[in-house]
């Protein structure tokens, strides 16, 4: 019987060490890639959308459905890429704190009535607007999908993980991305799933992701590409793109941060197609900035 030489043992050892280093580097690259991205201003939004908190591109109208957050009228607006309001719909619901808007493959719209700054709301809901009502001139009734976070036992929560500003619909489910208000975990977001049907559903936690620690890092918007292969999350100064994920654990694949050339109160994001992404920010009258519709293109 022959035994490996000491030299061969060393070679095997070094090979194993290098293999581990390569695997670690690949893992770090998959979660830590960062690219700079210049946002292109496409238009100034109408004054009535000074607190725009959700946008959704509609292929049928070749325009964007938009909404404002709490304190504004319970209306949604169809807005062209040039900033012209094409249609205004009055919704027969209260704007407790509308934070995002999304659309399913049939063209139905969903309003995320789940803003929860104080983490004490027990009436979290999503309003479904049937596609057949999108051209109505009357006040529109909606279907109501209610949900709750099973992990939240106190109202307000002791750890404020349960504010929400981003969601989208995909394959019969609604995917919700929370916004942490814990000072040391501002960039932490939990991914939840609820069925797209009337009822009061416990939200199922799937996974979590942390962007960065500062205030501008919390998640303010979300969308999925038309082919379902890309998910994008928004914060005030960047967008995070997720690809190559497994099933609906959108955080299981690669992540790339697209760092913008400026920071503002960006709260709205939407794919136009698999390569073009639009972003909107709120009006900042004190600095004469904001209330813009921006475009950036993926590589």
Domain count, the chain: 1
How far apart are the C-alpha atoms of 21 and 14, rounded to whole Å? Answer: 11
Two tokens at 244? 């190559």
Q: Is residue 146 part of a domain?
A: yes
Q: Write out pLDDT tens, residues 146-197.
A: 999 999 999 999 999 999 999 999 999 999 999 999 999 999 999 999 999 9
| Res. 18: pLDDT tops 70 | no
Q: 10 Å Cβ neighbour count for 288? A: 7
**Which is nearest to 282 in space by CA: 261, 269, 268, 296?**
268
Sheet with 143-148, strands from edge to edge, namely 100-103, 109-113, 125-129, 143-148, 199-202
| Res. 7: pLDDT tops 50 | no
Q: Give the pLDDT score at 213.
A: 83
Sheet with 221-224, strands from edge to edge, namely 33-37, 254-260, 238-243, 230-234, 221-224
Look up the CATH number of the domain holding residue 190.
2.120.10.30
Q: Is residue 67 part of a domain?
A: yes
How far apart are the C-alpha atoms of 219 and 165, rounded to whole Å? Answer: 7
User: How would you label 174-197 residue by residue, b for 16+ Cβ within 10 Å and e otherwise?
Assistant: bbbbbbbbeeebbbbbbbbbbebe
Mean pLDDT over 287-299 rounds to 91
Q: Is residue 225 part of a domain?
A: yes
Q: Is residue 114 part of a domain?
A: yes
| Res. 29: pLDDT tops 80 | no
| Res. 211: pLDDT tops 80 | yes
How far apart are the C-alpha atoms of 10 and 200, rounded to whole Å? Answer: 61
Q: Is residue 3 part of a domain?
A: no
Count how many Cα atoms sit within 13 Å of the Cα of residue 32 in the half-sphere of its side chain: 6
Q: Is residue 24 part of a domain?
A: no
Q: Is residue 228 part of a domain?
A: yes
CB 221 within 8 A of CB 233: yes
Which residues form the domain of 49?
37-297
| Res. 52: pLDDT tops 50 | yes
Q: Write out pLDDT tens, residues 119-159.
A: 999 999 999 999 999 999 899 999 999 999 999 999 999 99
Mean pLDDT over 6-26 rounds to 43
């Amino acid at each position: 019987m022959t035994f490996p030489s000491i030299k061969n043992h060393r070679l095997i050892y070094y090979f194993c060490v290098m293999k581990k280093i390569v695997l670690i580097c690949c893992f770090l690259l998959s979660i830590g890639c960062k690219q700079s991205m210049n946002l292109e201003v496409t238009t100034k939004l109408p004054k009535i959308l000074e607190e725009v908190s959700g946008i959704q591109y509609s292929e049928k109208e070749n325009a964007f459905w938009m909404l404002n957050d709490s304190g504004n009228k319970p209306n949604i607006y169809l807005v062209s890429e040039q900033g012209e309001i094409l249609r205004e719909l009055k919704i027969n619901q209260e704007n407790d704190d509308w934070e995002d808007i999304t659309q399913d493959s049939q063209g139905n719209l969903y309003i995320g009535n789940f803003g929860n700054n104080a983490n004490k709301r027990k009436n979290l809901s999503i309003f479904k607007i049937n596609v057949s009502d999108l051209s109505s001139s009357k006040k529109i009734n909606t279907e109501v999908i209610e949900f709750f976070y099973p992990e939240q036992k106190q109202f307000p929560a002791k750890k404020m993980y349960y504010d929400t500003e981003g969601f989208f619909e995909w394959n019969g489910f609604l995917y919700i991305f929370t916004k942490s208000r814990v000072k040391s975990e501002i960039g932490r977001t939990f991914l939840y799933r609820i069925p797209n049907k009337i009822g009061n559903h416990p939200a199922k936690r799937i996974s979590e992701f942390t962007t960065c620690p500062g205030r501008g890092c919390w998640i303010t918007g979300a969308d999925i590409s038309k082919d379902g292969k890309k998910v994008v999350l928004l914060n005030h100064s960047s967008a995070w793109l997720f690809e190559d994920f497994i099933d609906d654990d959108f955080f299981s694949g690669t992540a790339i941060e697209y760092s913008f050339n400026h920071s503002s109160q960006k709260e709205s994001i939407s794919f136009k197609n698999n390569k073009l992404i639009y972003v909107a920010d709120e009006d900042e009258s004190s600095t004469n900035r904001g209330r813009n519709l921006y475009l950036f293109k993926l590589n």
